[in-house]
Amino acid sequence: MFKPKKQLIMDSEISYWHQLADLATVWAKEMGKIHLSYFRGNHLDIELKGSINDVVTAADKTSEKYFIEQVSQHCPNHSILGEESGLHSGKSDYCWVVDPLDGTTNFSQGLPIFSVSIGLQYKGETILGIVYAPYLDELYTAIKGEGSLLNGKSIHVSTKKELGPSVLTTGFPCDKDTNPDNNLTEVSRILPQVRGIRRYGSAAYDLCSVAAGFFDGYWEPNLHLWDVCAGILIVQEAGGKAQQYRHDRGISLLAANPDLFKQIEQNLIPSK
């Protein structure tokens, strides 16, 4: 296994970002190995977090612990925002935003769509995004200003211009059972207008699928920064548009190619 150097030399801002991208790629793949060591096994140690719809496993906890250890060793002044452990404040302007296992419900059911999501922000702006789907062995990467890659090859959002032939993906909030603002109205409004809607269950992987043109658009209400930090940059660097379509329900995100973005948005917010 590649052993990253313990000390990073900041020759320039961009070269430093590349060093960090190399490190984060190694970390993402190691976290993926942790996932696969638990996947479809009998030692998941599934626990409820806030509700019956929100679970955590030993794989989530172990992979986030590994990530925090690596950042603490190689970038000790950097902050970390992790889904499972919250904010670890550092003294630098860099903050890692990590979802150690995005798609935990899929993972706990033995379904193979789950991912590691690692974003890096500098002074509040995302400059690096890495999403790794270990079962599929798909590595999505983006550095600000340099485009997006899937396993080292350039990717771009789809070129469809109309909703009719489009295939979209979406998701539902964890409080869908208690809050009627749960995306069902939006799905029923959009479904008749498109070829199909899919529900993968991993926001990070959904966004990467839009970036690669596998899906034409994605929306979901009430997300968190760790769900989407990396994926937003990957979509944007692949020529897509990704931004909030409302601001009163967590991070409610819409991502699509530029031609479809407004058409989808008009159905999510009918007054637009």
The binding site for Mg(2+) comprises 83, 99, 101-102, 227
By the 8 A CB rule, do 138 and 132 touch?
yes
Which sign does the torsion angle of CA 171, 175, 178, 182 carry?
Answer: negative
Q: Which residues are annotated as a binding site?
A: 83, 99, 101-102, 227
Distance of alpha carbon 230 from alpha carbon 97, whole angstroms: 8
The tokens 């601001």 sit on which residue? 247
Distance of alpha carbon 140 from alpha carbon 201, whole angstroms: 17
How many Cα neighbours within 13 Å face the side chain of 262?
A: 4
- The closest of 243, 236, 239, 245 to 265, measured between CA atoms, is 245
Which residues are CB-neighbours of 217 under 8 A, at least 6 positions away? 166, 168, 169, 210, 254, 255, 256, 257, 260, 261, 264
φ, ψ of residue 128 in degrees (nearest 5): -150, 135
By the 8 A CB rule, do 190 and 166 touch?
no
By the 8 A CB rule, do 150 and 139 touch?
yes
